[in-house]
Amino acid sequence: MEIDYAKIGFKSGLEIHQQLDTHKLFCNCPSVLRSDNPDFTIKRKLNVSAGESGKVDTAAAYQASLNKTFVYQGYDSTCLVELDEEPPHQINPDALRIALQISELLHCKVFHTTQIMRKTVVNGSNTSGFQRTVLIAHDGWVETSSGKVGIQTICLEEDAAREVGKEGNTVIYRLDRLGIPLVEIATEPDIKSAEQVKEVALYLGKVLRSCKVKRGLGTIRQDVNVSIKNGARIEIKGFQDPRMMTETVDKEILRQKKLIEIHGLVKGVKDYGLSPIDLTSIFRNTECNLVKNSLVKGGKVFGAKLPGFFGLLGLEFYEGKRFGTELSNYGKAHAGVGGLIHSDEQLKEKYKFSDKEISEIRNSLKVKDKDAFVLVVDEEKKARKAVDVVISRANTQINIAVPSEVRNALPDGSTEFLRPMPGADRMYPETDLPLLKISQDLVNDVKRTLPKLHDEVEADLKNRGLTPEMVKLVLSEDMLEEFESLLRIYDNPNFVVKALILWPKEISSKEKLSDKQRSERLSVDIIESILQKVAEKKISESGVKEVLEKLAKGSSLDESLSVKKEGGDIRKLEERVLKLIKEKPGLNANAYMGLVMAEFKGQFDGKVIMETIRKFVK
């Protein structure tokens, strides 16, 4: 799929949202996700309100139109701030410091006085109906192989509650994630190709991992904004997997190109002000199982003519996605229907429609040669609303080539409609907190204590003798500080990584230990004690893994260290080997091995004995 990005006027920018590893942003509650049963639940409805401009935001109005009920699950670690029953506390200073570090690493200018804002959110993910956010810095940059990409803004904001279930029109959220500090990095629309999107995203990820951020699934979220000439800005959410970044961007380009093509074919069509028409009576004796099953449950069939759209609903954007799919996604998002049927499909082969049914549909809707039609089968209210939405979307296509909107990234690189594009109307000042003042002294202190970038740390670890595999383990597990600490006790970098990370991971998996069991039985403090014994030559390197295995099975540290096979006194062994060499000089290593093993009778592993002998016998 060759695309000339310059020729099509491609523009793109990224938004990265990264959780910080501190307590919550506007209270002192821990930033820990819970898996146990909640202690209580509350139920709420959220109402939309006007922003600072006095207008209701389009995206907020859309969410409010869905009329959903929200249930929130809380714990003993949930406070009144998270329930929106108490004003927010002062901003978390640790989170602010990390945000300033990231700002400096990205060459940004800090706002020394800034206003904490409320961003209207009525999808239920915030109990208050808004998200608190504050601008920290602006006008930075990153260098890429294709030139500089500007950093527009860096914000500090609170994460949303996490959705854990749905029951009809009720959405269930858990409050453990609500309020976790997020840093948001927004680039300028300077990115000129799909590959550069990926390059910038990966670089920003390295910068973030250099600071104190959370790691693991769900701790970082990436959105990409894409537009082409004669198209519009589309924000794609859930843009996570680096392997899918280029494909997702390229497929969005193809989608916009096809929408521009369709607009060119229908832009002269008149908006007839059409409404959904009940076609249920046509299907009284239908052989179509989809329709038949819905009618048995009391469903209805509604349809509408789309003037001038003949042949366009089946127009393919790329493999598996057509304009008909686009319209279907709108019906699903706005009305909750399962999908739609349209005239560009194989109605007889796919749905078992009869010639008579097709003829009656066309007559009832007054479909002409250049027209298309759509049908929706569902509960009357949902079916009628879905057809209304499809009519509206078709009329939009007549007037606008590409409507600006927010879309959701799917695993195959395609996208689907999520909600309208939010505007400035959703923002207004936070009235419960004063202006945030960031002193130059704080900025100077942050500059003096900036962490090394990920690439610098990686190069340093390699220079210290770590293999690429061990470097990857230290960085991916975010255990650099622990590694440095243990290395001061026992100066063998690769062995320290094995004892700290590799073997505990392998053993925990084999023994099926929970995270809690692993943290208790194979903690860094326990591993430090074991390495201290190795440094004192009380146990050998080859005995450490067995000690860890004993610990994983529940033995105490003393019991595990006293395993004779690996745990004899190395100094005692060395003394005896030296004495034997003096008493019986000239023997080969294997001969000394037999004598030592006979004398110590299993106190030491054979490998340990041979390693000791080879120290003195060349």
Q: Over the stretch 300-353, which tens digit does the pLDDT of each residue have?
A: 999 999 999 999 999 999 998 999 999 999 999 999 999 999 999 999 999 999
Neighbours of 371 (CB within 10 A): 17
Q: Decide if 474 contacts 483 (C-beta within 8 A).
A: yes
Reported in sequence order, the residue ranges of 350-399 that DSSP labels E, i.e. its strands, are 372-378
**Segment 290-299 mean pLDDT:** 95
How far apart are alpha carbons 544 and 186 in whole angstroms?
Answer: 47
- The model carries a pTM of 0.78
Mean pLDDT in the chain?
A: 91
- Which sequence spans correspond to the domains of the chain? 11-233, 277-400, 454-616
Both tokens assigned to 592: 């000394």
Least confident of 75-79, 251-255, 531-535, 593-597: 593-597
Least confident of 27-41, 97-111, 469-483: 469-483
DSSP code, position 165: E
Asked if residue 604 has pLDDT above 80, the reply is no
The rounded percent of the chain whose pLDDT value lies above 70 is 97
Model pLDDT, residue 567:
45
Enumerate residues 6+ apart whose C-beta is below 8 A from 580. Answer: 592, 595, 596
**Segment 17-28 mean pLDDT:** 97
pLDDT band at residue 424 under the 50/70/90 scheme: low
pLDDT tens per residue, range 250-291: 999 999 999 999 999 999 898 777 899 999 999 999 999 999
Model pLDDT, residue 174:
97
How far apart are alpha carbons 96 and 205 in whole angstroms?
Answer: 19
Q: Decide if 487 contacts 493 (C-beta within 8 A).
A: yes
Asked if residue 564 has pLDDT above 50, the reply is no
Taken in order 88, 94, 96, 98, is the CA torsion positive or negative? negative
Tokens 């091995």 -> residue: 593
Q: Decide if 6 contacts 218 (C-beta within 8 A).
A: no
DSSP string covering 277-290, please?
Answer: EE-GGGGTT---HH
Residue 76 vs residue 55, higher pLDDT: 76
**Segment 215-230 mean pLDDT:** 91
Among candidate residues 574, 504, 567, the one with its CA nearest the CA of residue 541: 567
Sheet holding 170-174, edge to edge: 40-44, 69-74, 170-174, 162-167
How far apart are alpha carbons 550 and 552 in whole angstroms?
Answer: 5
Among candidate residues 138, 131, 143, the one with its CA nearest the CA of residue 100: 138
Q: Which residues pair with 12 in a beta bridge?
A: 191, 226
Strand (E) or helix (H) holding 140: strand 130-144
Q: Which CATH class is domain 277-400?
A: alpha beta
Q: Decide if 122 contacts 61 (C-beta within 8 A).
A: no
Model pLDDT, residue 542:
81
Least confident of 5-9, 264-268, 355-359, 596-600: 596-600
Do strands 40-44 and 69-74 pair parallel, antiparallel, or not at all (unpaired)?
antiparallel
Q: Which residues pair with 117 in a beta bridge?
A: 133, 429
pLDDT tens per residue, range 379-392: 999 999 999 999 99
Model pLDDT, residue 24:
98
Q: Decide if 460 contacts 469 (C-beta within 8 A).
A: no
Model pLDDT, residue 266:
95
Among candidate residues 98, 322, 62, 295, the one with its CA nearest the CA of residue 211: 98
**Segment 541-558 mean pLDDT:** 89
What is the b/e burial string over 549-559, where b = at least 16 CB atoms within 10 angstroms of the residue's CB? bbbbeebebee
pLDDT tens per residue, range 465-495: 899 999 999 988 888 889 999 999 999 999 9
Model pLDDT, residue 52:
67
DSSP code, position 124: S
Asked if residue 138 has pLDDT above 90, the reply is yes
Strand (E) or helix (H) holding 110: strand 109-110
3-state secondary structure of 431: coil
End-to-end CA separation in angstroms for the chain: 63
Model pLDDT, residue 569:
66
Among candidate residues 303, 307, 250, 241, the one with its CA nearest the CA of residue 273: 307
How far apart are alpha carbons 543 and 339 in whole angstroms?
Answer: 62
